[in-house]
Structure 1
Amino acid sequence: MTSSVPSPARIRIGSAPDSWGVWFPDDPRQVPWDRFLDEVSEAGYEWIELGPYGYLPTDAARLKDETARRGLTVSAGTVFTGLHHGPDVWDRTWEHVAGIAALTRAMGAEHLVVIPSFWRDDKTGEVLEDRTLTATQWRELTTQTERLGHEVRERYGLRIVVHPHADTHVDTEENVNRFLDATDPELVSLCLDTGHYAYCGGDSVKLIETYAERIGYLHLKQVDPEILADVVANEVPFGPAVARGVMCEPPGGVPALEPVLEAARALHRDLFAIVEQDMYPCPPDKPLPIARRTREFLRACGPARSST
């Protein structure tokens, strides 16, 4: 007789250029891409994201060689979109997405992380547009995101996972719920970033339990509650907040990651959980020791022990 007990879920732990202070394709304050690959492998990770397109080599054959000889595999690519602006931005958006999606697929990954555009600049803090969407903009955001999910799936075989993010329009519990309720689960899943969601006042475990079928990918991150309180009180933009250290090394911040991983494991499906400790800018020798300690901490978390 066949058992009806679901097979244990695998939580695949990885890291990303973000944890090495990389926010842009080219920036003199960032570590060179080959150093990132060397150190992320040395820290004990086997999975990585592509990071900002153009930071890692964009030639698939070269990137496959560079990652394979370090024992690394790509889990996802990342794109930035402003789909609430409607069909007028579709062609420009698709031009941006297509190259990244092609490289992501060529590297054997199955996910494309989609980050909504910022209402204020993440580097300068300049206010770019109203922080609240109109009803029309919400409709455009959801319908155009569904269109993106369909096109990416049909053309590249990838699943989009939308990433709620500070200083974007998909940020708080209210806005994340509204976005999920208005989009098709067959086309749009969620990349739950525990740090960004806590930054915006959300409860990651509650979100996983409430929208279990929509959780398609995880970013593991914590915020320093004391720094966050000051950031919120003084309306500090995200970039300067990161420079203050608002995103901190686990397990020193919130949310606690053990319950998040436990809730994710209870979904009974395989998930990537990619460490992303925002650090921009940061000294070049700072990331590796943090990455090592974080990997060991996650090994000690019960749900992460079965990761591959």
Structure 2
Amino acid sequence: MNWQEIIIESAPEGVEAVANIADEVGAGGVAIEDPQMVINKIKEGSWDAYELPEYLTQGENAFVRLYLPVNENLPRRLEDMKQRLDYLNTYLLPGCIKNISYATVKEEDWAENWKAYYKPVRVGRSILIKPSWEEVVPAPGDIIVELDPGMAFGTGTHATTVLCLEFLEDIIREGHKVYDVGTGSGILAITGAKLGAEVVSIDIDEVAVRVARENAALNGVAAKVEVKLGDLLAGETEPADIVVANIVADVIKEVIPQAKEKLKDSGLLLVSGIFVERLPDIYRWLEENGFKHRKTRESGDWAAVLAVKEA
């Protein structure tokens, strides 16, 4: 099978909405490429600039790369995508779409080409995220998370994921019960399990559920990570110590009251995927639902917020 590759250049404030549209039209793979995050990694010494394409080492705009199967449904999907992007660009976030390019790629190229830009990366004090095909020499005490994102979002290098991982390293204790809402590749759930938690990870996308299960098995934590197909926290009944959701702000609004019902008294809610300008909304929704803000971390335009359920 061949694939239609679409690369959408977007202003930072539009990237999550564009990625959501890609998911809604049935993309068989979505990747967010954020030059600001890449520049930060180069400055930190985590990546080498020469390993990366020039467009990912300069500029301010982000890129959403998605793939649609070339079949009889492709024209309909492309038209659906165009209408949604036009509405976003005209009414919701005027002018956020900067450019759209198209190319047809073969199955083997689609499966392999993106791997060239996915490198091991250190997060926090001791978390080392590595792709399954890369060899690394761990330092003493490293928690190694091996990942093959496949067609699911979440390589561990986007700022929203990094912020969550840094928080999880600080807050998870042995035996904690954790819900990971919108698990994607399963990176947060797997890290949580390696930090000592029992995790239920949930995603509405069947591909993400399959990839997350495969990655949990790859990391030897399948017994500690239960991956479910589901809609946010609907149907979950077991009380949790922590709920984590790395998704867009408007979906976080739905998660907050659900998390209040599932969390134990003094349980923690960690939300990410938030543009900094949406923080006032997040703080208001948390307060309205009986949460007390504990800490916010920011990275460029992105933020993650930790809050505690008040008894």
TM over 0.5: no
TM-score, reference length from structure 1:
0.32
By percentage of residues, which structure has more strand? 2
The structure whose RCO (Cα within 8 Å, separation 6+) is larger is: 1
TM-score, reference length from structure 2:
0.31
By percentage of residues, which structure has more helix? 1
